[in-house]
Chain A
């Protein structure tokens, strides 16, 4: 099942939501979110060929905005495998969909202005998710931040946060940060404040870096 997903700048209540957490809660479903055209093609083909029911959320803001050279041949990207989009050593930033591009920009800012090296991971498949890649990264960096547009409470970041602290507790040097949407309906006029934009994320990266 393909569905449009995520905030688009003016969607208001019903055209801005990210419901991946609802569907991740049903055992037996697969939930996938691509971050761009190249991933979309590969992941969609994998979903179509997968014998399980898959929900494929397409960040609709990227429909018009994203432009890439997509290979024309037949290729698939594996499900349940996260993609380390940028390697780093000081902290792990996890996101999916539109937010991955925000995190890449934040990682650049953090490097140039704070000298902080961020590893950015695109989760890609929300359910069943690739915990191993995230755990490996957090054991390396010791600090983790999860970013998603969906509301904070019971968002998928909560699941990842719980999992990371279960598996990597002794490696953690700071509490796991979550930068998410607010626990309110998605107000039309409040969209710029609602989104986990690069300033909120940069602030969180700064706090994480300075945590003692």
Chain B
């Protein structure tokens, strides 16, 4: 008996003192014309929990580091930070497969990470060095992998492209889906509704996902949208509203939605309610249109990382010490990544003339006057 009570105070010597999985109640989802059976409970395994925590911790630290690098003028141009929204990318990635596609806008660092780009490659891309995932040619808003179609700078432009990617999955009959993300600000763009319509007619497996962080730059959602219930904006397209701060909710409801789409039922409009701690971008302090109290309140009561930690501790899936260990790991990873981002060499000038076209290597690319040119190379 003494042994048992001691094991609750000190770090357990053996991990079999902890559970391997735990079950939690899921919140309810608002639905719009959606006849779907949603799970009522989520099962979280210890391994999954540790992985989600690790990923969210790395993303949080990575964004903090990017913030510091920007203020130190190591990163120039645009920088839109994802802090506060980590549960969305981690949760959705956990629900889909690497063969599925994702397309998002410019708040893409978290998505690049969960799609497989290392923190080092992300930060080096922000500092514009050759070690970056796009060798420094893209920068913050243009990060890609084979299945992450950006990274797009123009508000809302990526959503119809996402519908097309979903259509391609259907055309190729590969059982894949596309998650086409946009923000509450972009949600009022006209082409998004065209995309809803065509995806619906073609029954393309596109999960149109509005990451509603309640502010489109400095305009709150209720001031920007006559109908701020973004999950209903698909009209004939079924909609679902998911709590984006709860990684388990994001994961399990995304799984339910994507399974429904894979069965050939067509697109879905999902509104994932979340929050960003930083301003819209580095040029926005984020305090002129919302109070500091509001931001602090979200940090205290709804932070996604703290919420997952709560689940882990409550479900006895991990100890405080283990969680702290992961925090330390994340810090080390991001510190090394930051160092890499500062020291990776810049790209050589001749690389400017490649990756313009495919299969055009060896051709001349004209330069800034009639005497300069480069050779297109891989």
Contact = CB atoms under 8 A, between A and B. Distances in A.
B38 interface: no
Given A52-B358, A128-B357, A166-B370, 13 more contacts: A27-B356, A28-B356, A28-B357, A30-B357, A50-B358, A50-B359, A51-B358, A51-B359, A52-B357, A52-B359, A52-B360, A128-B360, A128-B363
Contacts of A28: 356-357
Interface string A24-52: 00011010000000000000000000111
Contacts of B370: 166
8 contacts: A27-B356, A28-B356, A28-B357, A30-B357, A50-B358, A51-B359, A128-B357, A128-B360
Contacts of B357: 28, 30, 52, 128
Contacts of A50: 358-359
Contacts of B356: 27-28
A166 B265 CA distance: 59
A176 to B, nearest CB: 15
Interface centre among B356, B357, B360, B370 (most CB of A within 10 A): B357
A44 to B, nearest CB: 18
A128 B370 CA distance: 16
Interface string B339-377: 000000000000000001111100100000010000000
Interface residues of B, number: 7
Contacts of B363: 128
A51 B359 CA distance: 8
A88 to B, nearest CB: 28
A166 to B, nearest CB: 5
A51 B358 CA distance: 6
Nearest to B371: A166
A104 B359 CA distance: 34
Nearest to B365: A27
Nearest to B369: A166
A52 B357 CA distance: 6
B170 to A, nearest CB: 19
Interface string B30-73: 00000000000000000000000000000000000000000000
Interface string A114-140: 000000000000001000000000000
A175 to B, nearest CB: 18
A208 B360 CA distance: 36
A76 to B, nearest CB: 14
Contacts of A166: 370
A78 to B, nearest CB: 12
A40 to B, nearest CB: 22
A28 B356 CA distance: 5
Nearest to B355: A28
B364 to A, nearest CB: 9
Interface string A79-109: 0000000000000000000000000000000
Contacts of A128: 357, 360, 363
Contacts of A51: 358-359
A121 B199 CA distance: 43
A53 B359 CA distance: 12
A51 B360 CA distance: 10
Contacts of A52: 357-360
B315 to A, nearest CB: 49
A50 B359 CA distance: 8
A166 B364 CA distance: 15
